[in-house]
Amino acid sequence: DQYYFDLTAYALWRTAADLIPNFVQRDKFAKDIGRGIYKESKQRGLLLEQLNQKEKDNREGAPNGSLTGTIPAVLEILDLFKSTQFCLNYRLGGDDSSRTGQSVFDELDDEDIQDGASVNCLISVYQPAMLGASLQITGEGSRFSPEFVGSTLSAMWEEAGITASFETYFVDQEYRPNPKDFFPDEQLLQFTLTRKK
């Protein structure tokens, strides 16, 4: 039941926000949930796409990985959330159609990561199951809200030698002249990806 899940997520995160006042510890709490989802999904065979050999070599020898090698794993994680009806749909990449899906990263992004620069990536999650809880907690003035997709993707990138941080925004696809009539159906994740140090 989506509504029960949403309410439970709200209660869990609201309680955690009260018990974990330190922002660094809150970040660790959220990332640990993503790591747990990622690890459990791999163990249960829900995520079959392994990081390619280039990523494995980078983990074993070099301190960093490539972004292009992580695209299949990113898509598989997003497909998992969609197939389990956690969200209605998703979009990997922004409005530029040449930089979406399988083409979200290219060799220039890999070079930027290798050179120590950061690369940005947008992911839209449409009608996520915890949208109501996230909106409620955000409306209460807390930036610590339920979010599973971004933290799970962060765990995958961490395994690939890439540090991922992200901000969450809520988007209403329809223009409404009254700002109080805000009915978002999209959770926009803006990632900043850098080489793991």
Q: What is the per-residue pLDDT for 61? A: 39
The pLDDT of residue 54: 46
Q: Strand 89-92: give its sheet, edge to edge.
A: 89-92, 119-126, 186-195, 162-171
- At residue 59, the pLDDT reads 46
Q: Would you give per-residue pLDDT tens digits along the chain (197 residues)?
A: 778 889 999 999 999 988 998 889 999 999 999 999 999 999 999 988 665 444 455 444 333 478 999 999 999 999 999 999 999 999 999 887 778 888 999 999 999 999 999 999 999 999 999 999 998 888 887 778 889 999 999 999 999 999 999 999 999 988 888 888 888 999 999 999 999 87
Q: Is the pTM of this model over 0.95?
A: no
Q: Which DSSP string do the residues of 53-103 spell out, in sequence order?
A: HHHHHHHHTSS---SGGGHHHHHHHHHHHHHTTSSSEEEES-S-GGGSGGG
Cβ contact 62:90 at 8 Å? no
Q: Tell me how far apart the alpha carbons of residues 103 and 109 are, in angstroms, rounded to a whole number.
A: 11
Name residue 171's beta-bridge partners.
Answer: 186
Longest Cα separation, the chain: 55
Q: How far is residue 83's CA from residue 93's CA, in Å, rounded to a whole number?
A: 20
Please name the residues in contact with 161: beta carbons below 8 A apart, sequence gap of 6 or more. Answer: 55, 58, 59, 62, 63, 64, 65, 195, 196
> According to the model, what pLDDT value does residue 21 have?
85
